[in-house]
Structure 1
Amino acid sequence: MARPLRFALGAVIGVFLSLSAGAGLAASKPEIEAQFQSWLANNLWPEAKAKGVSKATFDQAFTGVTLNFDLPDLVMPGEKAQTPQKQVQTEFGSPGKYFNAKTVNAVTTGGTARAGQYARILKAVENKYGVPGEIVLAIWGRESGYGSVKIPYNAFTVLGTKAFMATRKDMFRKELVAALEIVQKGYIGAGSMKSSWAGALGQPQFMPTSYIEHAVDFDGDGKRDIWNSVPDTLGSIAHYLAQYGWQRGRDWGYEVNVPGSVSCALEGPDQGKPFSAWEKLGITRVNGKPFPSSETKREGFLLMPAGRHGPAFIVTRNFYVLKEYNMSDLYALFIGHVGDRIARGATGFSAGWGDVGGLNRSDIAGLQKVLEKKGYDAGGADGFPGFKTRRSIGDWQAKQGTAPTCFPDRSLIKAIR
């Protein structure tokens, strides 16, 4: 009888605190904690039960779980979500900083060593899913340092906190319920489910919904153990990419020379051309080799992540599959580049990264708003110069009679306003 009484009292406390918050009284952390426990019992539990989660599993998952007020992007009950000023003002540096030698070399060296160590498993993974071993290794290395990075958080603490009071509560609620389903299906015990501060699980850093959809039991022990099993980790990464459309036998892309006569505003996954068409425009590989004959009639896409201030690439659809793992051009490029270094001993990019950057995210967001007011599709005002922002800049520059650079700088911000 104690448990129902405690839950009933929690509901009453939750209502009282909600009214207090509505009256403009700031709730203390103990009061918010009481609301959280009431929310678990009266709000989350019915949904989990409907998804087939047992009461025993639910209680096991949340025993001892309390809110972690130190996690980022939280909104206290009764308060409105605001974009932190610090985040808006964060400096956006040169894209080249993403490829710092220390990180690239560490992932490359670790991947090269493991290519031999796990050669048999990697071959089996590639045979089944079509994803080259070096690509799988590069992701594994980037996400968790080949399993060496500690994943310290209790997933239910992180996901519970964020589902209750994060800026994206609905998304994290879905992930929290998925985490409960993982335990219910016996893939891992609740106490062993460790995550990052963002709720990503295991060595591949899958969110729980991705785990359910993409994680595989590649070692055949009946569990999808992406926390401890190397075969399961490698197989799960490859399965993820395969399910997003990785094309067997194709590379991710090629570094190229782009003549000044070819506009950098031709960049983007929606402006593809056959490789033969790019060749007719004068685009060539930096190593002097022709594009593979198998690519002649297939579609390629121009990628210039720093505009005219850095290396350029013609990429395949597989590059955009890599972006499904992390929606960043630089992330996908890092994985492809390190994969090349693991597989072929490739060195750095042929072209250097220019000394660009130094703008605040708020500066770039302001530029994006101006571009969109002028009728350009800059991809929103998020403060990151993605391909839509870059090519919009190039189009605007061309209309002003200046050579397009397709990348923001201070002089551009002053001129366009």
Structure 2
Amino acid sequence: MKIAVVVNSLKVGGMERVAVNLTNAFHKAGHDVELIYLKDRPIELQPDDPSVPVHLFDVKKAALRTGFGALWMMACRLANIFARKSYARFFAYAECKAFAKSLSALEASNNTKFDLIVFRGHGTFEHVWPLQDPRFVFVCESVQGQHHYGRFSQRAFQGIYGNRNMVCISQGVMENFQAITKLHDIRPRSATLISNPLEYDRIAEQSQADKNHLHPRPYILGLGRLSPIKNVPLLIEAYHILVNRFGVTQDLVIVGEGRERAAIEEKVAQLGLSNRVFLKGQQMPPYPWFAHADLFTLSSKSEGLGMVLIEALACGAPVAATRCPGGVSQIMQGPLSDYLADMTPEALAQAMYNALTTPHDEDYQAAVQSSLAQFDGQRIVQTYLDTFTTDAMQ
């Protein structure tokens, strides 16, 4: 099959990594796949095989090249003053035309049309939602607020989700999607649960780095974007309890970058942890950090799926996590659920201490393998094909 995977950008991020993972999985399964991104930012992630084509469809710049596009942007920015979060929805009328033109040009140059076009993430399909094409599949990566667009939420969600082939990456995201469609009377063409793929071979290969090049002492790891949704201050507060109540000796290492960095550094200083907590910034690949951690902890307020948890388990790291909305509970099943915590510093500290000190028996290892099996790339590729090929959709 001829397949395109579309994502907002190729910066380092969870959604971007799974877009590349899906591209790799389709390629390894023998399909003709191409990767498309929409924002002209530096490429930090790309397919394993350099022969896989990567294309920039800079839909914003293409729209602005026309006189109408520039005037339309001004009108959309003005409308956004009166209708919260309306800018992206309205400007998409110009961007989608640019996307359709670029897609047609690419298909003409290939001398063939794509059979399946997979858009990863809400922010990605906001750019193209006015287009209707039966080949399009919109993949919901995260939990959305039911009134995300304020008083215009019903109309906005109907435009984005109505008559679409939808994929949700976890049961938690599916339940959230179903609640939105019920509340706003939306009728998607289809809604299917398909998890994100994980590339175990690449993780195994890239996790084998000398730990002395990472951090000089044993450490607990937090890894992810430094943004409010990742709730890193909660992790730091829980670590403070671990040090003072439980006497743990491991440092806390935080890998990632984002706009919350200054606030996190201030939190560390306030708690007197500057000699115990280390912000390492963005690190690629992330897998050695998982492999050499004594514990990985996810402190998020919500997670569409929680790919970092899966990656940590694949690297052999013990894990603890907040019991947050989304897909975390889908991963943390059986004995792994013992290390889920309510979203308080005390509860998370206790779960972290238990994960650090409890021997992991055969039942635990079996639960890890069962959880990882859900994210096998070839199984996920086959599910896409079985669900969205022309024959399957008839």
Higher strand share: 2
TM, length-normalised to structure 1: 0.23
TM, length-normalised to structure 2: 0.24
Larger Rg: 1
